[in-house]
Amino acid sequence: MIVAEVIRSGFVESVHHGVVAVVGGASFGDVESPFFPRSSNKPLQTVGLLTAGLVPREEADLALISASHDAETFHVERVRAILAAAGLGPEALRCPADLPLSETAKRDWLRAGGEPERILMNCSGKHAGFLATCVVNGWPLESYLEVDHPLQKTLADTVSRLSGEPIAALGVDGCGAPIFAISPLGLARAFLRLVEAEPGTPERRVADAMRAHPELVAGTGSEDTVLMNAMPGLIVKRGADGVSAAAVAGVGAVALKISDGATRARVPVLLAALRRLGLDVPDLPEVVRGGGLPVGEVRAVF
């Protein structure tokens, strides 16, 4: 089903298909067929780490462990600190080497002669949390990404419990970690469970950390950070290939997938879905440019 149109000079140039699961409102499309939530799974995995015994240095670390961070200096320093507290260094990470997501951080890094490093990869916070949890439990470190590792079995069980459905398929995410397929509706349910959990529970601790430290969940000026700063009470986590999930306690939750994986349709569709829940959302237009000037926009149509 078409969820967004790309308007150039008043003309519909392209369309994006997708599905939008809304808990607390009307959904759109097939929201019960499984998909890979990609990095939108991360807050659920962080709940699993706490359940398995992770003891963070401070609650803010939970936001970074749940993050797709931009590798700004404060992100990288915190990843190092999480690893150091577990007696480890960046060499223990098994995510691939990468450059910062932030264009500014990338430019500064390259100008200083830097090269891709594992700690710069946007999932390095999650991997640091994986490793710290393995240390607490005495689990093997070298194999922490293998699907039959005790850590990954715990995370799969947690995602299944929070979503209220069995894992439909297993895959390998961009960072090398196992990724668990659930439905968009299951993902929305899971996010709502995080924000509506009792204070002090693993679910609520993750939600509270994300809301208190949105700059750690993404980065300066990134969509998730901007939205959480603008909308108190909201948690939101983007995922690769056109995925996003969000929730507000007492209101509802949203999970969406843009079928072709386009990121440009993600924010307009998410904002439209949040409006369906009666929320006052910020104006974050996805601008279409021609000759360097605004000539249109990407707009939600569902």
pLDDT digits 0-9 by tens, 78-131: 999 999 999 999 999 999 999 999 999 999 999 999 999 999 999 999 999 999
| Average pLDDT, integer, range 259-280 | 96
Query: Does the pLDDT at position 202 exceed 80?
Result: yes
The confidence score (pLDDT) of residue 269 equals 98
The confidence score (pLDDT) of residue 36 equals 98
Are 152 and 158 in contact, with CB atoms under 8 Å apart? no
Judged by average pLDDT, the poorest of 85-89, 156-160, 280-284 is: 280-284
pTM for the predicted model, two decimal places: 0.96
Are 238 and 266 in contact, with CB atoms under 8 Å apart? yes
The confidence score (pLDDT) of residue 206 equals 98
- For residue 84, what are the contacts with CB-CB under 8 A and spacing of at least 6? none
CA distances from 88 to 133, 134, 150, 208 (A): 12, 11, 19, 27
Query: Does the pLDDT at position 302 exceed 80?
Result: no
CA angle 210, 211, 214 (to 5 degrees): 65
The C-alpha atoms of residue 278 and residue 266 are separated, in whole angstroms, by 19
Are 127 and 65 in contact, with CB atoms under 8 Å apart? no
- Read off the pLDDT band of 59 (50, 70, 90): very high
Are 225 and 214 in contact, with CB atoms under 8 Å apart? yes
Sign of CA dihedral 160, 231, 30, 240: negative
